[in-house]
Amino acid sequence: MIMLFNRLGKSVVLASLFIAILFQTAYANDDISISISLDRDKVGQEENATLTVVVETRIQQGLPKPKLPPTPQFDVYSIGTSSQMLQDGSGIKKIFTYKYALSPKKTGTFPLRSAWLVYNNKRYESNHLQLHVVKNAREASGPLAEISVDGKSKQKELFLVTETNKKTAYVNEQVVFTRKFFIMSRIRAYSPPNYWPLSAPDFWISDSTQEKQYRQVINGYEYWVREQSYALFATKPGKLTINSIRLAIAVAQKSKRHQRDPFSLIEDLLVEVKKVTVKSQPITVQVKSLPKKGRPAKFSGAIGQYRLTAGVDRTNVEVNESITLMVKISGTGNIKSIPEPTLPDMDGFRFEKSSTNFKQLNIGKDLGGTKTFEYLLLPRISGTQTIKPLTLNFFDPVKGKYRSTQSKPIILNVNQGELSADTEIPYNPVSGQTINLKETDIRFIKTSGSTLIPSGSIALKSPVFLAVVGLPILVLIGGFIDVRRKRKLAGNVAYARLRKAKSIAQKRLKLAEEYLVKNDDAFYAEVSGVIYQFIADKLNHSAQGLTSEAVDELLEECNASVDLRSDIKNVLREADFGRFAGSGEGESGKQDLYNRAESIISNLEETL
């Protein structure tokens, strides 16, 4: 039975592998595959369905974004794109995922035809889908316990309120649009609210303010409120609409089906998360044209309440010395779009606009701020120069009439200085930096004294540097090694004698050779002495009192060969004989004795 299972198991594994390889091969042949899917097949008219388009490809670059099928029954918003790379047996596969929110316009059943893309003149298409749009969201998504409360109260649990601070306005007048999202504090939210972009095609929409959060009690229910405002500026007269806004939020969905179940407590902990969509009502604003009566000739379209000031960084300057003129417009209104003020005649100056800075502020509920224009001025004529007042004409919607604001004149004392008005400055300095022109121009080139050296050469790598620095280092290292060696020799007599044995023996042999040449009988003493001394030094033994027998014993302990020991004995005996009985062998006998002694030292050096 076990055998049968084993065989069956192996067959299944092999079959699976074969199928997997077959599929992979088939898949590898497809360069691009495209598919679409929906997060649900039924959706409420006030809800959104999520359409996901997945493109799988092995093409690494240049693949176009897939096109969606025409969906006239839905508004389509892109809600994100992601990409992923996978390594499989056939190489790297890229998976691109595009997500879209489909917001239904009407109820019914609508087909979603295939998404497609064209690559290398070949069209790739996805599968088809179908989406049912029903009127009631509950009908589509089933009961949402925390949305429907207990069924008795009509109090809404989450809702959106939008409002404007005025129902009538002038063109380009600021209308503050406020969006408030209310969610009962007992509702558990699992994501921050995801707002659709504000849609008001006939308005210029300014940046939103920081979102405020606070609690508010309505009909005895406590709500969390998220409030955010936008400054809108109408671009044309007429009855203009700010479209409804939507948001999606994930909240806890609790099922009531098992409330009597004793395990429902655990189910309470394992709540399902449901994504819900909330929509506000559209708002209409009546926008009026600006009155023609009293409109100044130099009216640039600024609407709001503004103040213009002007100043310079210093009033005592020299000819061609730069100063910065700062023109500041502050107040409430569409300050970002305030045009550059018209400068008065600046005959005595060269000037360049250097920068514009904008700072937005909330002034109460209204949006305002400061816009600063900076100019770089270079006086060209010495003497007292005046920058005439600058004027800004604007329409004040509060007072309903045109007004103007004017800066004060600026008086400058311009000295002749070292620079003449004709001095050419090679660049137009910009960016509002205070440039201290101590130097009027760059200094002249260097015409002599250039010693060319190879590029990229650094001294640390040059052979000369390495030799110059390396030599003393080597000397120092050598010195340290020598000192260490000497210290070791001084502290260890046996080691010192061992190391010096050969050099002492060589010296004594040389002395013996000299005696040989001179035919001096001291030769024998030196020959026997050198052998005794060498053995004593090697074995750290006292040379005093050593006899040929003692030497033989010592060598026997050191496992010296019998021949060597015998040879040593003979040489020592002959040397002793010659020493005490006098020379009787002649010069050739002495030479032979010397050679044998030399050979013994050499053999002992190897043995000991």
Partner 1 sequence: MTAFRLLQVVCISLFLFTSLLIAGTLDHNFETGNDYYSNGDYKGAIAEYEKVIQAGYQSPELYYNLGNSYFREGLLGQAIGNYIRAKRLDPRDDDIEANLSFARKFAIDKMEVTEETVFFEYINRFFDSFSLKESTWLSGILLIILISVIITSRIYRRIHIASPFLVLLIVVFATSSIITGVKLDRDVLTRTGVVIFEQIEVQNGPGEDYNVQFTAHAGLICKIEREESGYYLVNFENRLKGWISTKAVSEI
Residue 430 interacts with partner 1 (CB under 8 A): yes or no: yes
Closer to partner 1 by Cβ: residue 21 or 468: 468
| Candidate segments 292-300, 381-389, 428-436, 484-492, binder of partner 1 by CB under 8 A | 428-436
Determine the Cα–Cα distance for residues 364 and 329; give it in Å rounded to an integer: 18
Least CB distance to partner 1 at residue 352 (A): 12
Nearer to partner 1, 482 or 587 (CB): 482
Residue from 64, 72, 364, 472 that binds partner 1 (CB under 8 A)? 472
The CA distances from residue 251 to 15, 130, 225, 257, in Å, are: 46, 27, 16, 19
In the chain, what is the greatest distance between 2 CA atoms, to the nearest angstrom? 154
Could you give the C-alpha distances from 537 to 501, 505, 509, 530, 540, in angstroms and in order?
6, 10, 15, 10, 5
Smallest gap from residue 53 Cβ to partner 1 (A): 19
Sign of CA dihedral 76, 82, 86, 90: positive
Which DSSP string do the residues of 105-135 spell out, in sequence order?
Answer: SS-EEEEE---EEEETTEEEE---EEEEEES
For residues 82 and 16, give the distance between their C-alpha atoms in angstroms, rounded to a whole number: 32
Binding of partner 1 by 463 (CB under 8 A): no
The runs of H, that is alpha helices, within 188-307 are 264-269
Q: Considering only residues 13, 14, 469, 494, which one is a binding residue for partner 1 as defined by CB under 8 A?
A: 469
Q: Rank residues 363 and 468 by Cβ distance to partner 1 and give the closer one.
A: 468
**18 touches partner 1 by CB under 8 A:** no
Q: Which of 82, 83, 79 is nearest to 100 (CA)?
A: 79
Which window, 310-318, 366-374, 472-480, 484-492, contacts partner 1 (CB under 8 A)?
472-480
- With beta carbons less than 8 A apart as the criterion, state whether 567 and 600 touch: yes
Q: Which of 2, 26, 460, 562 binds partner 1 (CB under 8 A)?
A: 460
Quote the least distance from Cβ 445 to partner 1, whole Å: 4
Interface residue with partner 1 among 384, 398, 443, 544 (CB under 8 A) is: 443
Stretches 11-19, 455-463, 498-506, 595-603: which one binds partner 1 (CB under 8 A)? 455-463
CB of 216 to partner 1, least distance (A): 38
Residue nearer to partner 1 on the CB measure, 273 or 483: 483
- Answer for the pair 335, 373: CB distance below 8 angstroms, yes or no: no
Q: Does 468 bind partner 1 (CB under 8 A)?
A: yes
473 binds partner 1 (CB under 8 A): yes
Query: d(Cα 545, Cα 535) in Å, to the nearest integer?
Result: 13
Closest CB to partner 1 among residues 90, 433: 433
Contact (Cβ atoms closer than 8 angstroms) between residue 304 and residue 411: no
CA 187 to chain centre: 39
CA 180/CA 193 separation, integer angstroms: 12
Please report, for residues 174, 209, 298, 330, the alpha-carbon distance to residue 205 in angstroms, rounded to integers and kept in the order given: 10, 12, 26, 19
Site string for partner 1, 273-302 (x = CB under 8 A): ------------------------------
Tokens 């006030």, located at residue: 46
Q: Does 361 bind partner 1 (CB under 8 A)?
A: no
Q: Is 490 in the site for partner 1 (CB under 8 A)?
A: no
Query: Which one among 120, 384, 451, 588 touches partner 1, defined by CB under 8 A?
Result: 451
Residues 6+ positions from 253 with CB-CB distance below 8 Å: 144, 145, 146, 271, 272, 273, 274
| CA 323 to centroid of chain Cα atoms | 40
Under rule CB under 8 A, residue 479 binds partner 1: yes
Q: Residues touching partner 1: how many (CB under 8 A)?
A: 37
- The answer to whether residue 80 forms part of the interface with partner 1 (CB under 8 A) is no
When the beta carbons of 425 and 489 are compared against partner 1, the nearer one is: 425
Using CB under 8 A as the binding rule, whether residue 449 contacts partner 1 is answered as yes
| Shortest distance (Å) from residue 606 CB to partner 1 | 37
| Interaction between residue 364 and partner 1 (CB under 8 A) | no
CA distance 135 to 104: 10
**Of 115-154, which residues contact partner 1 (CB under 8 A)?**
none
Tell which one of 41, 222, 418, 441 touches partner 1 (CB under 8 A).
441
Instruction: Please report whether residue 427 would count as binding partner 1 according to CB under 8 A.
Output: yes
Give the burial string for 514-526 (b: 16+ CB within 10 Å, else e).
ebbeeeebebbbb
Q: How far is the CB of 59 from partner 1 (least distance, A)?
A: 17
Question: Where along the sequence are the contacts to partner 1 (CB under 8 A)?
Answer: 426-427, 429-431, 433, 435-437, 439, 441-447, 449-456, 458-460, 465, 468-469, 472-473, 475-476, 479, 483
